Amino acid sequence: MEAKDTVMSEEQVWAVISKCEGTATEARHDVNKAQAEISFKAGEESITKLRQDEIEDFYNEGRQAGRKEVVEWMRKYGIIMETIDMHLEYQWQAQLKEWEVTLDK
């Protein structure tokens, strides 16, 4: 959301002014306060969304790195070939592809 998207409409400004029973200065203060609340809420929502995206990316990168490390460790010590017979090899390769894990040969 851009800053211009949080600017109060003329109708919103007049709605705030109409509720004010004080001076013009107090009405201006009320309008500024209402505008600040709208902008603050929009900014807070944007930051929350950004943080959620960053956390999700960080989680996915860590999960992917962990998968690759485990698979490489299993390959290094021969565990994969000892425990996976030829019948399961196709399924194993399909799982590696789904995980986007490529093994260095």
Residue 104 placed within a domain: no
Q: Are 33 and 5 spatial neighbours (Cβ–Cβ below 8 Å)?
A: no
Range of the domain at 21: 3-99
Residue 105 placed within a domain: no
| Structural domain count of the chain | 1
pLDDT, tens digit (0-9, with 9 covering 90-100), for 42-96: 777 777 887 888 888 888 888 888 888 888 877 777 666 555 566 677 777 888 8
Q: What pLDDT does residue 84 have?
A: 59
73/80 Cα distance (integer angstroms): 9
Residue 32 placed within a domain: yes
5/11 Cα distance (integer angstroms): 15
Q: What pLDDT does residue 104 have?
A: 67
Region 20-44: mean pLDDT is: 82
